[in-house]
Amino acid sequence: MNRNIRFLLTVLVATAVLFPGAEVEAVQPVSQVTEDSLDNGTWAQVSAWLKGAKDLIELGDASIIIEVNATDGDAGFQVFLDGDGWRNARVYDSNGQRILKVIATGGVRHIGGGTELFMESSEPEYEDLDGMQELIDLLPEGEYYFLVRTTDNNWATGTAELTHDIPAEPEIVTPVPPEAEDECSTGVYADSAVIEWDPVTTDIWGDEGIEIEAYQVIVEAEEDPEREFMVVVPAETTEVTVPPEVLVGGGEFKFEILAIEESGNQTITESCFEVEE
């Protein structure tokens, strides 16, 4: 038998005798974990290292959602986390692979690090629902893991569930949609402007069972963004009245209606209207 092989077998047998059931490779102590280890390791490896952390903090908030703009035909992802004074933050997908890393340096680091973080991915256009499915499949469903290293070298973690449950687009009732896509609705007056839509009862593929949590309506003057109105209403509400003071003076306004599913995924319908003076 080769001398090197005999030596290796001797070491393995000795390990098994001295430490029954123990693995040959020990878990790296959290104090010795490097940035490269965190970047290149899977979440399973990272969470094993974190078991040695003395002061593991829970993040204040963590979420990941899908946003679809049905009018423009595009889709993307939004990530949010909230933690106290972090020097870097990482997000791992449901397969345990790192998908995001953010570092606070320079003045941001010296002032005490980051706290809230909102990240929106690019929003590629899709030709049809099959194309949209290909986009959202880039991030699989399941539990996502958030890891933050604080400026005082402690650790904070959090989790969020990503689903592919995407609501259908809200169908606008009033203002009456124009015949041409590049035109705005007319016959809207500042003292009686109502935005109404049909309730969303299916997902974007037409399947029932979707749970709408809320709707959001955003109205903004095309030439004066400071003239704006935004409101979130419960799922049973399907119309809102725009405050007259926002519309006084007339002009063209763009508006969005967002259907927000219980997981946070949301689908947007966009349109515009002209206010009669």
- Per-residue pLDDT, 30: 56
Mean pLDDT, residues 21-32 taken together: 46
Q: pLDDT: is 210 or 25 the higher one?
A: 210
The fold for domain 26-162 equals Immunoglobulin-like (2.60.40)
- Taking the CB of residue 208, how many other CB atoms lie within 10 A of it? 7
Q: How many CA atoms lie within 13 A of 266 on its CB side?
A: 20
- Per-residue pLDDT, 50: 86
Residue 252's pLDDT band, with cuts at 50, 70 and 90, is very high
Q: Where are the alpha helices (DSSP H) in 126-259?
A: 129-136, 244-247
Domain boundaries, the chain: 26-162, 172-276
Which of 104, 116, 144 lies closest to 59 in space, CA to CA? 116
- Per-residue pLDDT, 55: 76
What is each CA distance from 215 to 8, 45, 107, 140, 227, in whole angstroms? Answer: 65, 40, 39, 25, 21
pTM of the model: 0.84
Q: pLDDT: is 254 or 5 the higher one?
A: 254
CATH superfamily assigned to domain 172-276: Immunoglobulins (2.60.40.10)
Residue 32's pLDDT band, with cuts at 50, 70 and 90, is low
- Both structure tokens of 242: 């725009």
Q: Where are the alpha helices (DSSP H) in 19-51?
A: 35-40, 43-50
The Cα–Cα gap between 71 and 259 comes to: 13
Q: pLDDT: is 28 or 259 the higher one?
A: 259
- Per-residue pLDDT, 2: 43
